[in-house]
Structure 1
Amino acid sequence: MLKFSKKLLYAIEAVVDIAYNSGGEPVQIREVTSRQGVPQRYLEQVMQRLVKAGILKGIRGPRGGYLLARERAKITVGDIARVAMEVGDGEESGLPSDVATGPIGQAVIRPLWTEFQEQILVMMDEITVEELTTRAFRNGVPSEVYNRITYTI
């Protein structure tokens, strides 16, 4: 189930970074880690899963990196969250294993937590990467797109 782990937050941040900074060119993982301060070890595994899930496309070679595999408006935060959950730490409910283990915990609290998580995923499915890149632009986050543009006369 959904757990707001570092991997989940870093995965969302990485996909939005790629969408915001690619300008049609592959973005290398080291660029993402440098811009966002995200440890590369957290990203490598989840990036591979995002490629397998059809959210990102991996480009090989010296100028390789990652691009979105679909349009920004067709990728939701929920899509990314589901992939990051697969890479999780095996904690099924998102609650520590020693919490809510009594009769009320098992019959009431854990099912309630599952309902909360399902509602959060529904909300995440309503937010697209396009919306998040628009928010980044409105908030004045610098984009590498402008540095990649070359003018030829």
Structure 2
Amino acid sequence: MELSCKSEYAILALLELATHYQKGEPLQIRQIAAKQNIPDRYLEQLLATLRRGGLVKSQRGSKGGYFLTREPWKITLFDVFVCVEGLDKLQNCEEDSTKTSDSAVVEDIWEEARQAANSVLQKYTLLDLCEKRDSHKHLDIMYYI
């Protein structure tokens, strides 16, 4: 299982929205794109997907933009992955009657890996990512005398 650019950009955009969640003000695409270094056009498409998936809402107008539909501690990385990549990436392939015993063994191991990955993705929320980011920032601070 590999993290696609699409999923990574979606998580980064949602992380930015989670950071500003308490303010209750929507963020514009250009603000998110600039802060997270995501191409504007690509981010626009991603946010439309996230909106259809129920993770973000949009507000029109001069004070418009995007904001989370739920609290950051209620949105898991699994939710994001399912929304962006689709559920078919997380499900097992259809059973094929022509499978050999070798391919069945490989498929069993792959399914175990997929379940482990899903478990990790369900464990972490956007709030967890914000906290991890903040703790990394504190470690990066150096004091000079």
Match of 1:46 in 2: 46
**Structure 1 position 80 matched with structure 2 position 80:** yes
Give the alignment partner of residue 127 of structure 1, picking from 124, 127, 141: 124
CA RMSD of aligned residues (A): 2.7
Rate the CA distance shift 1:62–1:139 in 2: closer, same or farther, 3 A: same
Pairwise CA distance, 1:115: 3.0
**Structure 1 position 137 matched with structure 2 position 142:** no
What are structure 2's unaligned runs of at least 5 residues?
91-98, 139-145
Give the alignment partner of residue 116 of structure 1, picking from 110, 113, 127: 113
Rate the CA distance shift 1:121–1:42 in 2: closer, same or farther, 3 A: farther
Runs (4+) of structure 1 exceeding 6 A deviation are: none
Rate the CA distance shift 1:118–1:31 in 2: closer, same or farther, 3 A: same
For the pair shown, which has the larger CA radius of gyration, 1 or 2? 2
Q: How far, CA to CA, are the matches of 1:111 and 1:59 in structure 2?
A: 45
Q: Does the 8 A contact of 1:16 with 1:129 survive in 2?
A: yes
TM-score, structure 2 normalization: 0.75
Q: Does the 8 A contact of 1:19 with 1:129 survive in 2?
A: yes
Pairwise CA distance, 1:57: 1.1
What are structure 1's unaligned runs of at least 5 residues?
94-101, 142-153
Q: How far, CA to CA, are the matches of 2:136 and 2:8 in structure 1?
A: 19
Rate the CA distance shift 1:58–1:105 in 2: closer, same or farther, 3 A: farther
Match of 1:96 in 2: none
Pairwise CA distance, 1:112: 2.9
* Structure with the larger RCO, 1 or 2 (CA within 8 Å, 6+ apart): 1
Matched-pair identity in %: 32
Which one has the bigger helix percentage?
2
